Amino acid sequence: MDFLHGNVRSGMVAIVGPPNAGKSTLMNHLLGQKISIVSHKPQTTRNRILGVVNGDDYQIVLLDTPGLHKARQPLNREMVRIAMESLKEVDAILYMIDVSLPLPEKIEQEKNKELMEQMEGVVAPVILILNKVDLLDKEQLLPMIKRYSELYPFHGVMPLSALTGEGTTEVIDELLAILPLGPRYFPEDIPTDVSERFLVAEIVREKVFLQTGQEIPYSSAVTIESFQEDDIKQMTTIHATIVLERNSQKGIVIGKGGKKLKSIGIAARKDIEKMLGQKVLLKLWVKVRKNWSKDERFLKELGF
Ligand SMILES: Nc1nc2c(ncn2[C@@H]2O[C@H](COP(=O)(O)OP(=O)(O)OP(=O)(O)O)[C@@H](O)[C@H]2O)c(=O)[nH]1
Ligand SMILES: [Mg+2]
């Protein structure tokens, strides 16, 4: 705790919005490092991922959340619950939408209605983030900002690109105008509250998302069986399991002659080595746990 916080501003800020809007990309960009996994497929983030952004006179605790969507299955319901709950405990909210795809009017109206429903009862100021402006015709921006400003009493509407970083420093400025004076809640050298084990499991899961198609990403979970650091050899040995829902999925993830699993393992190991700053021996297994995404006990084990 920083007792002499003087003019330090601090607080919690949730990043919420539909799947695939770029929430995790923005979180990583603001942190200056990759904590939250990213993919081009919706519903990549499954948990609340905390990231701490420090400045000379501020500390912003960001909460990256799973995408808000109409959830029917148990795992998806848990994801949406986590995102909705984060709205209650924060000082400000960044509601992010992807503005790169022109939507038919009817769909846009439906999405806007959903936005209003999701924000019902929310007391914290909400900043609407129009993301992916790098893909947008600049002339479309002003009318879009005007339209959204009429939709909800947003504290502000900010266009940006989480990918290129264009417009992101303005978000920090805008948040600092909202956040109260207060202590830093986390030591300045600690970027997140999740364990290295969790981050490793997430990195493997990201590679599954990126390298497999159809339903496989949504049928995959990753558990860490062992994590052993050898200080003398400066090497970490990790055993992880990719858990699938059905027997028929096993062959797809392993691939011909084990090729797919090997490729997932190589990509994951590279990222894990970067994160841990040392050599990593990563051993991956594939296991079937029938319908795990509907199994409450297993969901608990995964931290839901
Ligand atoms: N061109 C462009 N692509 C972006 C931008 N921000 C994110 N993306 C891409 O959009 C995709 C989704 O990004 P994520 O950060 O995983 O999105 P998310 O909102 O966290 O998604 P979920 O976790 O599934 O809810 C990825 O392929 C990103 O590279 C942007 O500003 N411009
Ligand atoms: Mg995400």
Can you tell me which atom of ligand 1 is nearest the CA of 96? 19
pLDDT for res 101: 84
Report the candidate in 136, 116, 139, 138 with the shortest Cα–Cα distance to residue 128: 116
Alpha carbon 268 to its chain centroid, in Å, reads: 17
What residues flank ligand 1, with Cβ below 6 Å? 19-25, 38-40, 42-45, 66-67, 131-132, 134-135, 161-163
Q: Give the 3-state secondary structure of residue 181.
A: strand
- State the amino acid at position 80 in one-letter form: V
Can you tell me which atom of ligand 1 is nearest the CA of 160? 31
- State the amino acid at position 232 in one-letter form: I
Can you tell me which atom of ligand 1 is nearest the CA of 45? 23
- Read off the pLDDT band of 6 (50, 70, 90): confident
Phi/psi at 181 (nearest 5 deg)?
-70, 140
Kindly report, residue by residue over 118-162, the tens digit of the pLDDT.
Answer: 999 999 999 999 999 999 998 999 999 999 999 999 999 999 999
Supply the residue whose CA is at minimum distance from atom 13 of ligand 1: 22
Please, is 36 exposed, middle or buried when counting C-beta atoms within 10 Å of its C-beta (0-12, 13-18, 19+)?
buried
Query: Would you say residue 4 has pLDDT above 70?
Result: no
**Could you tell me the distance, in angstroms and rounded to a whole number, from the CA of residue 132 to the centre of ligand 1?**
8
Dihedral over Cα of 217, 223, 226, 232: its sign: positive
Q: What is the DSSP string of 220-272?
A: -EEEEEEEEEETTTTEEEEEEEEEES-HHHHHHHH-GGGHHHHHHHHHHHHHH
CATH of domain 9-176: 3.40.50.300
Can you tell me which atom of ligand 1 is nearest the CA of 18? 25
Pocket probe mutation, ligand 1, options 35, 36, 38, max atoms within 8 Å of Cβ? 38
What is 196-301's CATH superfamily?
A: K homology (KH) domain (3.30.300.20)
Q: Give the 3-state secondary structure of residue 296.
A: helix
Angle, CA of 134, 138 and 139, to the nearest 5° = 160
Query: Would you say residue 3 has pLDDT above 60?
Result: no
Q: From CA 299, how far away is CA 304, in angstroms rounded?
A: 6
Q: From CA 92, how far away is CA 163, in angstroms rounded?
A: 22
pLDDT for res 51: 98
Q: What is the mean pLDDT of residues 227-244?
A: 96
Q: From CA 127, how far away is CA 145, in angstroms rounded?
A: 12
- Taking the CA of 83 as reference, the closest ligand is 1
**Could you tell me the distance, in angstroms and rounded to a whole number, from the CA of residue 268 to the centre of ligand 2?**
18
Q: From CA 58, how far away is CA 136, in angstroms rounded?
A: 32
Q: Where are the domains of the chain?
A: 9-176, 196-301
Mean pLDDT of the chain: 95
Map tokens 């993301």 to a residue. 131
- Read off the pLDDT band of 2 (50, 70, 90): very low
**Could you tell me the distance, in angstroms and rounded to a whole number, from the CA of residue 7 to the centre of ligand 1?**
34
pTM of the complete model beyond 0.75: yes
The DSSP H or E segment spanning 129 is strand 126-131
Map tokens 């858990």 to a residue. 243
- Read off the pLDDT band of 5 (50, 70, 90): low
Kindly report, residue by residue over 284-299, the tens digit of the pLDDT.
Answer: 999 999 999 999 999 9
Tokens encoding 129: 């983030």
**Who surrounds ion ligand 2 at CB < 5 A?**
23-24, 44-45
- State the amino acid at position 98 in one-letter form: D
Question: Cα dihedral angle (103, 109, 115, 119), rounded to 10 degrees?
Answer: 160
Q: Please list the residues that pair with 222 across neighbouring strands.
A: 242
Kindly report, residue by residue over 86-105, the tens digit of the pLDDT.
Answer: 999 899 999 999 999 888 99
**Could you tell me the distance, in angstroms and rounded to a whole number, from the CA of residue 131 to the centre of ligand 1?**
9
Q: What is the mean pLDDT of residues 27-32?
A: 98
Pocket probe mutation, ligand 1, options 20, 48, 132, max atoms within 8 Å of Cβ? 20
- Read off the pLDDT band of 300 (50, 70, 90): very high
Can you tell me which atom of ligand 1 is nearest the CA of 162? 31
Kind of pairing between the strands at 58-64 and 156-159: unpaired
Kindly report, residue by residue over 47-76, the tens digit of the pLDDT.
Answer: 999 999 999 999 999 999 999 999 999 999
pLDDT for res 274: 96
**Could you tell me the distance, in angstroms and rounded to a whole number, from the CA of residue 40 to the centre of ligand 1?**
6
pLDDT for res 22: 98
Map tokens 């496989």 to a residue. 216
- Taking the CA of 23 as reference, the closest ligand is 1
